[in-house]
Structure 1
Amino acid sequence: MDVTPLRTSRDFRLLFLAGTVFYLGGMVSYVAIPFQIYHLTGSNFAVGAIGLVELAPLVVFGLYGGALADHVDRRRLLVLTGLAQAVLTAVLAANAFREEPSVTAIFVVAGLLTAAGALQRPSREALAPRTVRHEQIPAANALDSFGRQVGVLIGPAVGGLLAAYVGIGWCFVVDVAGLAVATLLYVRMRPYPHQVETTPPSLRAIGEGWSYAVRRKDLLGTYLVDIVCMLLAFPVVLFPALAADVFEHPQLLGLLYTAETIGAVLATVLSGWTARVHHHGRAIVLAAAAYGLFIGLVGLAPTIWVVLALLVLAGAADMISGVFRGTVWNQTIPEHMRGRLAGIEMLSYSVGPIGGQVRSGLVADLWSVRGSIASGGIACVGGVALAAAWLHDFWRYDSRTDEHATAERARRAARGE
């Protein structure tokens, strides 16, 4: 793994550390919320329905947050939204420590947290490429993913242990601490003023971002493939039932949450080869199809240990796809559009999982947990193949000759970046 961005850029180091602790705390809550809802209701659909509550705030505030990131001070927006998330997570902690926690409160606060996170993420994604030189973007993407995955790897295990032995409320306390640390790291970054005249956030500004994305078939392919994978083959919502009911090993729930992350970390550590790949569209398609295949096999696995091995492979494939998607985005999107496109990117890798939670929970309740996972993985492979066949420009994308990649490379070279 190329660590040059960490050695040469102070602000990238701050973003790296902030992302690590942010996801460490966030993934503790990620385990706690579905575990608490399942414990209180006993319904897989109720666990999946949390996605329905999060969907509208994600779409509305994700798009608005992207437009806002192209107009206001991105660092300041990171700080303000980080504080808002810390306060809301503290409310979840207070609710969890009650004798009879309110399910309604969980759903309401989950929606508000989604809104705050949707406002924040486009600014972070848009700011990251400016902290490194253009040629360091692939390495920075891999390192950024590695930092997040370290948090994601440790967080679910910590969350599972805290939920089982000291109570769900402490999961949210850990998340509050992580949010506070991440926000302080954002405060320490230097200002990054916009380099060109900005566009105030509006429906017109959001529409300009959508129009740009739709015209770019290479970008459209990155969004579509990710949505297909997550919508059809995202079984995380079924992990509590898979561990407790199918395999009767509830104590291994944390391992189910961390298995994909282990694969992702391994893939990232060995990611040096990605800098030598130029046909990013093909790499994304092949990695996404492999992800769907491994998830489909999870539904057929005879033991929970085989499930864990398959999830490790699925996590590695998903991470490879993610590294190449991020490289296409950060090496081809001009600075003045980066916030709005980051908002669309966020929707592509957030709406899919939310819809996937609902699909998985509903199919599991109507059919079976195994059937839901296996059918989703098979459908994912087919969906990715259809997307690649439809978007020829995406499959043929070559970073050495693509007009958008060469134009952005020239712009950054002119600015000494």
Structure 2
Amino acid sequence: MGLLIDLRPLRQSPAFARMWIGSTLSGIGGQLTVITVMLHVFALTHSTFAVSMIAVAGLVPMILAGLYGGMLADAFDRRRVALIAATVAFASTGLLMTLTWTHAVTIWWLYALSMIVAAANSVGMATRTAIVPRLLPREMLAPASALNGVAFGMTVMVGPAVAGLLVALTGYGWTYTIDVILMLSMFLGLWTLPALRPEGEIVRPGLASLVDGARFLRGAANIRMQYILDICAMTFGQPLVLFPALGTVILGGGAVTTGLLTAAVAVGTFLSSLFSGRIVHYRWHGRGIARAVQAYGAVIALFGVVLLAGIGSGRATEDSPDVLLIVLACVTLALSGAADNVSSIYRNTMMQAAVPDTMRGRLQGIFVIVVAGGPRLGALYAGVLASLTALWFPPLLGGLLVIALVAVFVRLSPRFRSYDAEDPQP
């Protein structure tokens, strides 16, 4: 059992390998746009609250799309559903690029197109994740989750850093253009998949399908608990919305610092996946999730302490960054990325192994809502609290809340603590 990542899923399934490569390249482009939209909104409004509202505005469409997209994935060819979702995201990003180059973009266009992309990505993510167990045997699911961690690490490590540099050097139009080009790789990965109709009894999308999924989730205590823990972590421990202001007010460096802070999270994700050889063979996934989420809360609180030190020093400006504080902030964020990724490996594997194929799309739809919706609630929490108090206060308080809440919830769920990956039970 080595320390380095297990590459066998890429060798055993060429279809999985192609989808993984396509998702990675298009993900880099998507991260370019995520950061660029944040910087674009901040440049137009100079408001952290306005930046946080991008995430909040996309929450309701994302929830509805995730639920309905999960039902679609359980009723139709999953390859086709994923292709349609990718097409919608591609067209929306193309329109954003066109509006920017023609100087017709407004704050409302940024909000509206962000909502559409969030909804399309919600459907696509739920469907692609439900596809993976059809391409790989069960023993390869945890290594596949680690590989997805590497992909996510690369996308968030490269995308934001390049976005910050591109915005600083060339403006917004080129960044959106590069995203449009990179998104083409997603179609290659999906187009070459075989047809993937769901196995078992098929329930047509609608109220009956939704009720059927809710009934299954009601009896799936382990799945519910991992949802709860992730919501706690992302609601109270997600400081991303603060990054544009930090580059201006506390740490200095402007857009470049914003990109570096976001990329630091991905560095931790990437490295923890790269050295995941032993992590993926740990069988007690419930305990692994709980410990990783508490570690995440601890380093987010430490990030708040670093920001508080920056307030005390008062040395940084947008043109004169405080390099030491930026390095310390990046280290804490890298540790948070590592902790979140370990939790993600166990959560994804639990979802794919313990949920039957006939339910996998709907449960993945809910899972995507939790994974993507939690940070949006976190954006609202951090944006509002920072507006009322100070930029350092939301991560410090939130990290401590995460530690306490996880301890309480896991204490009340002995079944979750004893979850065994060799006998997966929802």
- 1:402 and 1:232 map into 2 onto residues whose CA distance is 29
What is the match of residue 380 of structure 1? Answer: 402
Partner of residue 65, structure 1: 69
Contact kept in structure 1, 2:73 and 2:198, CA below 8 Å:
no
Whether 1:200 and 2:222 are equivalent positions in the alignment is: no
Note closer, same or farther for the CA distance 1:237–1:205 as it changes in structure 2 (3 Å cut). same
Among residues 123, 127, 133, which one is paired with 1:129 in the alignment?
A: 133
Equivalent residue number for residue 301 of structure 2: 296
Q: Distance in 2 between matches of 1:351 and 1:236?
A: 14
Partner in structure 1 of residue 348 of structure 2: 326
Give the alignment of 1:351-362 within 5 angstroms.
Answer: 351-362=373-384
Number of matched pairs = 404
CA distance in 1, matches of 2:252, 2:199: 57
Question: Which segments of 5 or more consecutive residues in structure 1 lack a partner in the other structure?
Answer: 405-417
Aligned to 2:261: 256
Cα distance between partner residues in 1 of 2:157 and 2:331? 15
What do the CA deviations read for 1:158-184 (whole angstroms, capped 9, x no partner)? 111111111112111111112222112
Q: Distance in 1 between matches of 2:104 and 2:176?
A: 16
Whether the 8 Å contact between 1:83 and 1:179 is mirrored in structure 2 is no
User: After the TM superposition, which of the residue ranges 17-26 and 206-215 deviates more from structure 2?
Assistant: 206-215
The code of the aligned residue for 2:215 comes to S
Number of the residue aligned with 2:358: 336
> Do the aligned residues in 2 keep the contact of 1:20 with 1:149 (CA within 8 Å)?
no
Of residues 39-48 and 49-58 in structure 1, the stretch that sits farther from structure 2 once superposed is 49-58
Instruction: Report the Cα offset of residue 149 of structure 1.
Output: 1.9
Deviates more, 1:190-199 or 1:218-227: 190-199
* Cα RMSD after superposing both structures: 1.3
Native 8 Å contact 2:261 2:330 kept in 1: yes
**Amino acid of the structure 2 residue aligned with 1:363:** L
Task: Deviation per CA, 1:177-209: give whole Å up to 9, x if none.
Answer: 122221122111122233323111112211221
2: CA distance between counterparts of 1:336 and 1:361? 39
Instruction: Evaluate the alpha carbon distance shift between residue 295 and residue 192 of structure 1 in structure 2; reply closer, same or farther with a 3 A threshold.
Output: same
Question: Residue 7 of structure 2 aligns with which residue?
Answer: 3
State which drifts further: 175-184 or 56-65. Answer: 175-184
Work out whether residues 15 and 128 of structure 1, in 8 Å CA contact, stay in contact via their aligned partners in 2: no
1:36 paired residue number: 40
Which amino acid in 1 is paired with 2:295?
A
Q: 1:284 aligns with which of 289, 297, 307?
A: 289
**Whole-angstrom CA distance in 2 between matches of 1:193 and 1:73:** 4
1:125 deviation in Å? 0.8
User: What is the percentage of aligned positions where both structures have the same residue?
Assistant: 30
Amino acid in the other structure paired with 1:95: L
In structure 2, stretches of 5+ residues that fail to align are 310-324
1:233 aligns with 2:237: yes
**Matches of 1:248 and 1:163 in 2, distance apart?**
16
Q: Tell me, yes or no, if the aligned pair for 1:218 and 1:394 is still in contact at 8 Å.
A: yes
Q: Secondary structure of 1:300's partner?
A: helix
TM-score normalised to the size of structure 1? 0.94
Q: Which amino acid aligns with 1:365?
A: S
Question: Any idea what the Cα deviations from partners look like across 1:45-66, whole Å, max 9, x if unmatched?
Answer: 1100112210110111100000
Structure 2 matches for 1:299-318, cutoff 5 A? 299-301=304-306, 302=309, 303-318=325-340
